Amino acid sequence: MKNRIILRQLFIALAVSLVAATCLTNTAQAAILFEGWSKVLVSGEHVGYIVQRYEFDEKKKEFKETHFLKTGANAGGLQESLVARADASFKPIAYQYTGLVNNAPMTVDASFKGDKMTAIVTEGKTKKTVSNTMPKGTFLSAFLGYVMLQGKEGLKKGVKYEYQGILEESATISKGEAFIAEEEAVSGIPAFRILNNINGSKFISLVTHKGEVLGTTSPAIGTQTILVSTMEEAVAGFGVNSANLATLFGSMPTGRENEIVRRGLQPPKPVAKPGGIATPAVTAPTAPVVNAVTPAVPANSPAVAPPTAPGVSKPAVVAPTAPVVAPPAQPQGKGP
């Protein structure tokens, strides 16, 4: 369970990934705002990957976030997928989460009406219904980055965001905060170093001025994520079931919509910096590949929900968080 929570938070950090709102009006159909493949590392060892996509449907005025995570047996043998939808003001519409830890399945199917959330949580043969009343401004953690970017102060050094986000894997609401500590260059790309704290876990994310996450790290447990320019580099020998991914995402994600690919760079492996904060070091770029390997995605991967569109209404609460993955050495369940 601890590993699952940590990996999930890694997604919260990656949830800051997005493209400037100006892209939202470029098409009448669902536009891909961000799409990328990231490596997951524990103590420097490549243990898995994450692929993530953000879309905006101009016609429906809805945002949609889809992601898939997989780690090897040395990191708990995790698989996780999420399809989340929110309206133009980031008010939750619905989400479907599927997780698999050591072959033990779990699903959450949530819907929203007014300030009420109803989620059907299934773990193995056990099914229960979770109901929550959401405080004003509550949003799905998958859209944290958007909420922050469009907040009153936006992204700038010295700003602190406090918020209440829904943790999709547990259908619970948790308080969090993100502090934009400093501005620096990562592989020549201007970025902010954001210190995140949610549900008691702390981590760091390096985010571009457009809100795209280049990498995250959890100094306490040595877990990192690194956005890379090709699917092959992220996947390595962990395998991809491209048919299942195409079903989950609506099309096979190539990971070409992000700053690393646009600049022809391959992001760096975070290097420990005084104070426990990591700064990525540049690596030579590699050519993108969209070849899929064959290991599987959970058979019960969630169906892809229609995308959602970015409105420009400013949510009441805003703030990003950073991901963390639990070290494989002591798997206690699912990583983040």
Side-chain half-sphere exposure of 31, counting CA atoms within 13 A: 18
- Residue 297 in any domain: the answer is no
The conformation of residue 74, written as its DSSP 8-state character, comes to: G
- Residue 62 in any domain: the answer is yes
Q: What is the pLDDT of residue 125?
A: 87
Neighbours of 209 (CB within 10 A): 16
pLDDT band at 37 (very low <50, low <70, confident <90, very high): very high
> Mean pLDDT over residues 111-116, rounded?
96
> Mean pLDDT over residues 212-219, rounded?
88
Q: What is the pLDDT of residue 175?
A: 92
Beta-strand relationship, 160-167 and 139-140: parallel
> Mean pLDDT over residues 40-45, rounded?
94
pLDDT band at 97 (very low <50, low <70, confident <90, very high): very high
pTM score, two decimals? 0.73
Q: What is the pLDDT of residue 290?
A: 33
> Mean pLDDT over residues 276-295, rounded?
36
Which residues touch 73 (CB under 8 Å, ≥6 apart)? none
**% pLDDT > 90, the chain:** 49
- Residue 19 in any domain: the answer is yes
**% pLDDT > 70, the chain:** 70
Residue pair 191/206 in contact (Cβ under 8 Å)? The answer is yes
Q: What is the pLDDT of residue 14?
A: 55
Q: What is the pLDDT of residue 301?
A: 36
Query: Per mean pLDDT, which range of 110-119, 240-249, 321-330 is the poorest?
Result: 321-330
Could you report the per-residue pLDDT of 53-75, keeping only the tens digit for each? 999 999 999 999 999 999 998 88
pLDDT band at 282 (very low <50, low <70, confident <90, very high): very low
Q: What is the pLDDT of residue 201?
A: 81
Q: Write out the residue range of the structural domain in which residue 278 sits.
A: 2-283
Give the total number of structural domains in the chain.
Answer: 1
- Residue 149 in any domain: the answer is yes
User: Does residue 311 come out as left (phi exceeding 0), alpha (psi in the -120 to 50 range) or beta?
Assistant: beta
Q: Which helix (H) or strand (E) holds 239?
A: none
Could you report the per-residue pLDDT of 154-171, keeping only the tens digit for each? 888 999 989 999 999 989
- Residue 320 in any domain: the answer is no
**Burial of residue 128, with CB atoms counted within 10 A of its CB: 0-12 exposed, 13-18 middle, 19 or more buried:** exposed
pLDDT band at 10 (very low <50, low <70, confident <90, very high): low
Nearest to 191 by CA among 179, 207, 203, 205: 207
Check residues 294 and 269 and name the one with the higher pLDDT.
269
Give the chain's mean pLDDT. 76
> Mean pLDDT over residues 41-58, rounded?
95
